[in-house]
Amino acid sequence: MSTDELTTIAQKAARGGLFLFIGNTSSTIILAVGAIIVARLLGPFNYGLYTLTVAIPMLLVALSDVGMSSALVRLPAKARSEGDHARANSLIKLGFLLKLAVSTFAFLICYAGSTVIATTVLNRPELAPFIQLAALMIVFQAIYDATNDAFIGTDLMQYSAAIQIMQAILKGTLGPALVFVGLGITGAISGYLLALAAAGTTGASILFSRQARSATRTDASKETRALLGYGLPLYLASIFSVFLAQYQNIVLAHFTNNVEIGNFAASWTFTTFMAILAYPIVTAIFPMFSKMDTKNQKSDLARGFVLAVKYTSLLMIPASVAVIVFSRDLVYLTFGRGYTLAPQYLALLSALYLLTAIGSMVLGSFLNGVADTGTVVKMSILTLAVYLPMGPALAWPWGPYGVLVAQILSNAASTVYGIRQTSMKYGALPDLKASGRILIAALVAAVPAVALIQLHLTVVGVANLVAGGLLYLVMYLTLAPVMGAVDKFDVTNLRTVLSFVPLQYRGAEMRFTPFTELGQNLLDQNVLEVVALDGNVIDLRLIRSQVSVEENEGNKFAARTFTVMIHMFAIFTDSVLDYEARLLSVLERG
């Protein structure tokens, strides 16, 4: 591959990664704010009904995908990389139509069976008309998802980011507005539908207007087999977790009341932010494991696994403890005091992330990195097998608390199984002593914060979060090295890991180092490597070229926004690691 070709890949990767990063981050924040506003306006009772209403349509959205989300990214991109643009266009059209056809069939089932679903599955006959309305999201979501995936597969990430932000803004404004004017659950569903319809049809119009100017080559039977042949195995591997998420709502529908479900749904919103917190390390370790030979580098794999578990635990365990401690303030500040049960649910739910200590958040990246997808599927099956009977059994006497306990135990079972497999196959085991020290440091650091809250020295809400949060952070950062949870080797490693801010999208993975003057020179040799769509790792450190952003106002704004986020991240992590290094030096001298 020539230097010019490598430069072109770098340009597309850098530009696409920037757009997707901005799009994903912006839409996530906007959607979270919109969901909180809707929940506050509806109240726990109606928010519980809304949660149940969309549960079955969302399950059918996932079931009707038939692997097209993955296929529409991978196959057109691969065809384009081989210079076969006509085939890429054909794959997009066929994949789009196939997904739309299956989704339309699922919509008809949901609409026609709304009464049965509401009465038998959800135990709420009054939800039938709401389910009929919500069924439309199956079709609109299919259009939106297929368009978004096709944009990514054809290197049009700016359009992907645009429709993500468009959908988030519309959903985050229309939903609350329609609820506010008195439409209630109907307004919340209508806002969701209108946002999907507007973003999806706008994106599809752009996509197919570009397709109309491009050549196509139609061999429908062959291309359909290619789409299904690639997409179905991935679809089957992921369907277990998708089903589990909605099965949980079905269990709640039969054993709890609407107010409890509304509180439960509110607490579950915070899991998104917890997952984002682990993103930098979990994403960065995937390519590290991908490059290691499972036969000749077993010791490196084992050591890498130990460090990955430790560093993820250093972040997630104190975060989990902090959410437990400040659960009341977090819920009341966001969802309001009407959600009286949500703090207890959130505290118990946060305990799920304590499984990070034994590798729960690292296992997926590790096993996928070494291409052991069979173990990943078996872990998903085990989680489902444990939860299917345990969820209803514990929900019957304990309601949502029982559901959460079942969730923790089923995840613990699959994690233990996964650890056993990594130990037997690759000699990789987490350092439980290190995890124990981290847990002790996090728990002891919480004592002053708990005392602060219990003594009512501050009011509930922002003051508690700011004063108590800063106190907890300083205590944890101090106790971690004192208790041996962190040493100088860890500080050096963390500087290396966190100096690269990962941006990932389906089909390619890039890393960016902190930089300045982004509008003038976006990367300037800071893209270290690209994992190409064909799986080849291209080392871009050998390329002495500059990758710049197109000079238009949209890119300048995105570049400035990205620069601010990068610098905030870099300043915070550097400050934390400097503090740890100084404290370790003091301890050594003492």
Percent helix, percent strand, percent coil in the chain, to nearest 5: 80, 5, 15
Is there a domain that residue 277 lies in? no
Is there a domain that residue 309 lies in? no
pLDDT score, position 315: 86
Is there a domain that residue 374 lies in? no
Is there a domain that residue 371 lies in? no
pLDDT score, position 308: 83
Q: Which of 167, 168, 159 is nearest to 211 (CA)?
A: 159
pLDDT score, position 547: 35
pLDDT in tens, 264-303: 999 988 877 776 666 555 655 655 665 666 677 777 778 8
Rounded Cα gap, residues 453 and 483, in angstroms? 25
In sequence order, what DSSP letters do the residues of 477-527 get, joined into one string?
A: HHHHHHTTS--HHHHHHHHHHHTSEEEEETTEEEEE---S-TTT-S-TT--
Could you say which residues of the chain have pLDDT below 70?
1-27, 81-82, 155, 157, 211-219, 231, 233-234, 237-238, 275-294, 369, 371, 456-461, 496-573, 590
Last residue of a domain, one of 228, 255, 282: 255
pTM confidence score? 0.76
| DSSP-based three-state secondary structure for 533 | coil
Q: Which of 501, 570, 502, 515 is nearest to 547 (CA)?
A: 515
Strand partners for 538: 530
Strand partners for 503: 510
Is there a domain that residue 40 lies in? yes
Rounded Cα gap, residues 39 and 82, in angstroms? 48
Rounded Cα gap, residues 206 and 372, in angstroms? 39
- Total domain count, the chain: 2
Identity of residue 536: N
Identify the sign of the CA torsion 575, 577, 580, 584. Answer: negative
| DSSP-based three-state secondary structure for 283 | helix
Identity of residue 422: T
539: enclosing H helix or E strand = strand 537-539
Rounded Cα gap, residues 543 and 371, in angstroms? 29
Is there a domain that residue 36 lies in? yes
Last residue of a domain, one of 208, 224, 255: 255
| DSSP-based three-state secondary structure for 537 | strand
Do 587 and 481 touch, CB atoms closer than 8 A? yes
Rg value, the chain, Cα: 24
Rounded Cα gap, residues 56 and 45, in angstroms? 19
pLDDT score, position 563: 53
In sequence order, what DSSP letters do the residues of 219-238 get, joined into one string?
A: -HHHHHHHHHHHHHHHHHHH
pLDDT score, position 10: 38
Rounded Cα gap, residues 118 and 341, in angstroms? 25
Last residue of a domain, one of 224, 255, 286: 255
The residue range of the domain holding 171 is: 14-255
Phi and psi torsions of 460, nearest 5°: -70, 135
Indicate the burial class of 167 (C-beta count within 10 angstroms; 0-12, 13-18, 19 or more). buried
Rounded Cα gap, residues 53 and 127, in angstroms? 7
Determine if residue 102 is left, alpha or beta; phi over 0 gives left, psi from -120 to 50 gives alpha, anything else beta: alpha
Is there a domain that residue 4 lies in? no
Residue found under tokens 């197109």:
550
Do 47 and 264 touch, CB atoms closer than 8 A? no
Q: Between helices 298-325 and 270-290, what is the axis angle to 10°?
A: 170
Interacting residues of 564 by C-beta distance below 8 A, sequence separation 6+: none
Is there a domain that residue 449 lies in? no
pLDDT score, position 113: 94
126: which DSSP letter? G
| DSSP-based three-state secondary structure for 158 | helix
